[in-house]
């Protein structure tokens, strides 16, 4: 079979074998031409997916902050729109209802605004005593008191870095619990960088090419899922904090989209 050519005629695409097209570009009479409709206007470009990225460490030289920077670069390389934050932006006094009665602290207000402005978030969190950092859990507790509850329906990717052989992974499993309770869609894969104090080269990149590729693949997969959820949403359901009493208990908290 010969090559096919495409002819644009009166809002249609005419596709024909090369031998059936005259030098003028018109189809040769008596030969078949396949027609495909063209939209009158090009489809609008989808809105970009926005990602909040931050390290959950307050220490300036944190290994998790270095890992968060790599996540930032990977998201930018895969054409994501980035919102880079620091844990110090979200630091709050210890949560109590008495303090809440006087108003929300600036750190909680800041996290709420950033969550609402983004479609998904990435946290690089250190492991403290086999769990998440207290400062991170504290701000999650604060932000969970806003209405509407801003974690609900967001997508999250969890990362960790540690000098230990486990890479801080136990802390990420602990972190999943409150996030998933609040309606966050936590990505199944997590990335934990073991022996992180030896993992970075002089340029701040991962020295091991296989680990670098694995981090990039994890972030790319997460971004694909977040993009699909934003542009092709399934039916959303209400977030309900069911405390075990009867279904209409006044203690239940319900958010509807």
- The secondary element (H helix, E strand) that includes residue 75 is helix 63-77
In the chain, what are the domains? 4-37 (no CATH), 50-232 (3.40.50.360)
pLDDT at 140: 98
Tell if the pTM clears 0.85, that is, is over it.
Answer: no
CA distance 71 to 2: 48
% of residues, the chain, pLDDT over 90: 66
pLDDT at 47: 80
Q: Tell me the pLDDT band of 44, cut-offs 50, 70 and 90.
A: low
Contact 132, 174 (CB under 8 A): yes
pLDDT at 240: 66
Kindly report which listed range (23-37, 159-173, 178-192) carries the lowest average pLDDT score: 23-37
Beta-carbon contacts of residue 5 (< 8 Å; ≥ 6 apart): 15, 16, 17, 18, 21
pLDDT at 243: 62
pLDDT at 43: 55
Structure tokens belonging to residue 194: 């073991």
Strand runs labelled E in the chain: 4-9, 12-17, 34-37, 50-55, 81-86, 120-124, 155-161, 185-186, 191-193, 239-241, 253-255
DSSP H helical ranges for 91-246? 97-100, 106-117, 134-143, 169-181, 209-231
């Amino acid at each position: 079979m010969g090559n096919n050519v495409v002819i644009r005629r009166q809002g249609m695409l005419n596709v024909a074998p090369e031998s059936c097209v005259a030098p003028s570009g018109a189809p040769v009479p008596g030969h078949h031409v396949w027609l495909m409709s063209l939209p009158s206007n090009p489809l609008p470009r989808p809105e970009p997916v926005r990602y909040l990225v931050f390290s959950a460490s307050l220490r300036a030289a944190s290994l998790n902050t270095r890992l968060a920077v790599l996540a930032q670069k990977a998201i930018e390389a895969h054409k994501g729109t980035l919102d880079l934050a620091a844990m110090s932006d979200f630091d709050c006094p210890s949560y109590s209802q008495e303090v809440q009665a006087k108003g929300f602290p600036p750190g909680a207000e800041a996290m709420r605004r950033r969550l609402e402005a983004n479609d998904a978030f990435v946290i690089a969190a250190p492991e403290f005593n086999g769990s998440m950092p207290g400062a991170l859990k504290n701000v999650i507790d604060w932000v969970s008191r806003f209405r509407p509850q801003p974690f609900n329906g967001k997508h999250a990717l969890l990362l960790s870095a540690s000098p230990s052989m486990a890479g801080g992974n136990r802390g990420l499993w602990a972190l999943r619990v409150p996030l998933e309770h609040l309606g966050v869609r936590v990505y199944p894969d997590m990335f934990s960088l073991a022996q992180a104090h030896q993992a970075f080269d002089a340029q701040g990149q991962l020295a091991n090419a296989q680990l670098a590729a694995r981090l990039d693949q994890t972030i790319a997969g997460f971004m694909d899922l977040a993009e699909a959820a934003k542009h092709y949403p399934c039916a959303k359901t209400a977030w309900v904090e069911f405390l075990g009493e009867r279904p209409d208990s006044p203690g239940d908290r319900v958010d509807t989209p």
